Structure 1
């Protein structure tokens, strides 16, 4: 019985050490979520301003820009945004399975640009066509990362190697709610010419063509950057929830083991007392 109590104490100590780790990770993720949410709120006005400006240009002039041309979709590009680390519940698998369930029987129709080792390793292991992989940026993405990804995607689109650009990410809804999303960047319904009268007086410098040449890449880049920030916020929120659940489970297991330990200790004491009483009776 003494051996049993020692074993139980070792288990309690081991689970207690794990609980300290999960609690620390929960606190770190909570801090990161707050920072990412602030950054997320700052990216949305920039994106909305760029989109509004593009619509204003298209409303006033008739321009056939290469990035706005629609064509028959034979080859699609998907930019998949995932994490570099695990311990985030179902966060990584949700994005991976969303694409795999859709294209596992038609892999030749898509190419991928993956963000995060979890996305790269998943699709590489299933023989998808990965054009480029970006790792080490999922937790703290910068606009320069979005610019690099966007340039690669737009070059492929202009060359005709792909017929549409999509971004796949996890949208942050709240600290306990986030959902996988697929958004088509090009050709986009959001930047089509709207019906309506042109503005009374509009003067584009140096020219409408050059203004649009500048704005459309900014739209793609800001969309990708927004998706990176949404995904980063969702990742930290998912990790916080997973670590919180792990900490709660550890507390429950420790409570149960403490009860088992107390019962075992009480049983051992009772047995020792019984042996003492029996020995005393035998001496009479």
Structure 2
């Protein structure tokens, strides 16, 4: 079977449990092997050419639909939560609905760095659907530490997302050894560089990591939320649900970590964090005339 760039494949040795996109085909010591990106999860892998099989379009459609159903369910739960937040804010801002609702809100601004352009586009679509102001930048994971300082100066985000692809390789070391991970050390370096710019955990909220990332190192480096406590795979859209919750929570309130994780597709085995304040700010008066002129 002829496998080409961008084909959707599965690994025979893993019973084709995950759909991958072919991003590179290489030859080493006379043997062909393939570099793979997870199609719906943030996992990077390599496999012998002969271990791969191109996924039948009908099988692929079925798997894609299963993921889509999970995504829609997660979005519905999140939308309900945002609606409840807005109802409570309406009640408080109007003194129990006694005064007119003459206020405006400023959700937290997000800077999202992603090592995968396709995942970045998926995330940008969801940010827009939710209504979060965001700047999305495709950046190779290895280049992120050198670029993050300038990007923070340029965009001045309230929330920073550092993600892409990652994977733990048992053959490279123990699970505690950060050098046994594809990109965890690059994510850690990027978090540290961001914290040199803005040390305070509530002035810049950081999510960092991808599939199987070294969770403890990312948290110790200064991330508020990270993956992956149990070294499992995370869904491509999980970072969006994390930062959306932060973006829509008032800055005077702290966020319970479980409240952030419960509507993600992966949950607490793949995602974790520390108590953090929200970044939503409410102001008044609301002037629709100024909005129309702008």
TM-score (norm 2): 0.30
- Decide which structure has greater helix share: 1
Higher relative CO (Cα under 8 Å, sequence separation at least 6) belongs to 1
Q: Which has the higher strand share?
A: 2
TM-score, normalised to structure 1, is 0.30
